[in-house]
Amino acid sequence: MDSITHTITGGVISKAIDDPRIGRWGSVAGMVAGVFPDIDFVLGLFNHQFYLQYHRDFTHSFLLLPFYAGFLGWLFTKVSKCSYFWSFYLISLFGLVSHVLLDLLTSYGTMILSPFSENRVSWDLVFIIDFIFSGILILPWIGSLFIRKGASWICRGILFSLTIYIIFCWFHHQKALRLAQDFSRRLNGEILQVAALPQPLSPLRWALYIETHHSIYQGFVDLRREKKISPEASSGSYLRKLDHLYSPPSDILFRSVEKLPNSPWVKRALNTDGIRFFYWFARFPVVKAIESNGERHRVEFMDLRFYIPGFRSPFIYYVEFDGTGRILDEGFLGNQKKR
């Protein structure tokens, strides 16, 4: 989730608790706790790979949240001159937990058992920026700022409404997942994983993935759609073109992407530390491109989890070799590491 949503969620939780002993300081503590785990953004000041490796790591660990809550509780007793440590501790703990739970709703992956496990957990229910989710949260919260009596009940209603919305997303996630599983039954060979990932602008749009040993199948579905949109109707604006990508449940177009083309440069790239890291980070890694130009050979890898054809292709990692196999250049696009 974005940092604004995290911050306001912490503020809503603090108002829902409504501890009169710490008054407005409770809202401040809740908002700080709500965004606190994202202090790992400073890792991006070093390099992109370092950030990807440790973002949503130790600052997002359920095992460490009680210690962070203790630190924030102590900090706010000092800053506010209020000696109610446990009031600040409780609000801080709920704010921190809300941050991790909201991140788990997305498809990015969160290391909730760090430092004992680097397994990235994701529930695949909500897109990383969800305007409906944020609207349910932000608009009533702004209203509660101008209403003293009943503000706590408004915030409790916000939390209840968000819970209903998440259940709604879970229900449609299950429907999308069943569509992917139905397609997987038509394939020959062992199925390694099946997933349905949330998409931008609508909780009814999903990207479907089926991985086999050799290929990854990707399809896009809009659960409310009854028929395909003609190419003429989808021309024009960005939103129209994006809308055309999603098929009705009865007619999903799956594209097959070969995971590892037969190339000596792909095999050589797979043995580099950079690509080993990329495969740890990626959920559906594939080779995007292989280019050879004289004595320079380049292999690009991407994660289909983040790929929207014609619109979005982030987290591309490349390795370039000379004719002898020596690495000339590698890194994420926009974060090159020259040799």
For residue 172 the two structure tokens come to: 């449609």
Taking residues 95-109, what's their average pLDDT? 96
Q: Tell me the pLDDT tens digit for each residue of 18-55.
A: 999 998 999 999 999 999 999 988 776 666 777 778 78
How far is it, in rounded angstroms, from Cα 181 to Cα 86? 48
Position 339 scores a pLDDT of 39
Position 149 confidence tier, pLDDT thresholds 50, 70, 90: confident
Model confidence at 337: pLDDT above 50? no
Model confidence at 191: pLDDT above 70? yes
Model confidence at 338: pLDDT above 60? no
Position 233 scores a pLDDT of 54
Is pLDDT larger for residue 231 or for residue 335? 231
For residue 162 the two structure tokens come to: 């968000």
244 and 308 in contact (C-beta within 8 Å)? Answer: no
269 and 326 in contact (C-beta within 8 Å)? Answer: no
Other C-beta atoms within 10 Å of 71: how many? 12
121 and 133 in contact (C-beta within 8 Å)? Answer: no
Model confidence at 230: pLDDT above 80? no
Q: Which of 15, 48, 47 is nearest to 31 (CA)?
A: 15
Q: Which of 178, 126, 149 is nearest to 6 (CA)?
A: 126
User: pTM here?
Assistant: 0.89
Q: Tell me the pLDDT tens digit for each residue of 263-312.
A: 999 999 999 999 999 999 999 999 999 999 888 999 999 999 999 887 77
Position 189 scores a pLDDT of 81
Position 269 scores a pLDDT of 95
For residue 81 the two structure tokens come to: 């001159």
How far is it, in rounded angstroms, from Cα 237 to Cα 282? 31
For residue 233 the two structure tokens come to: 């109707």
Beta bridge partner(s), residue 258:
215
Taking residues 132-140, what's their average pLDDT? 94
How far is it, in rounded angstroms, from Cα 278 to Cα 259? 14
For residue 63 the two structure tokens come to: 């095992």
Q: Tell me the pLDDT tens digit for each residue of 314-326.
A: 889 999 999 888 9
How far is it, in rounded angstroms, from Cα 142 to Cα 95? 18
Percent of the chain with pLDDT over 90: 73
Position 242 scores a pLDDT of 79
Return mean pLDDT, the chain: 90
Q: Tell me the pLDDT tens digit for each residue of 53-78.
A: 878 889 999 999 999 999 999 999 99
Using alpha carbons, list the distances in angstroms from residue 150 to 9, 136, 154. 18, 17, 6
Position 78 scores a pLDDT of 94
- Note if the bond before 231 is cis, omega within 30 degrees: no
How far is it, in rounded angstroms, from Cα 243 to Cα 56? 31
**Residue 258: its H or E element:** strand 255-258
Position 235 scores a pLDDT of 56
How far is it, in rounded angstroms, from Cα 144 to Cα 154? 7
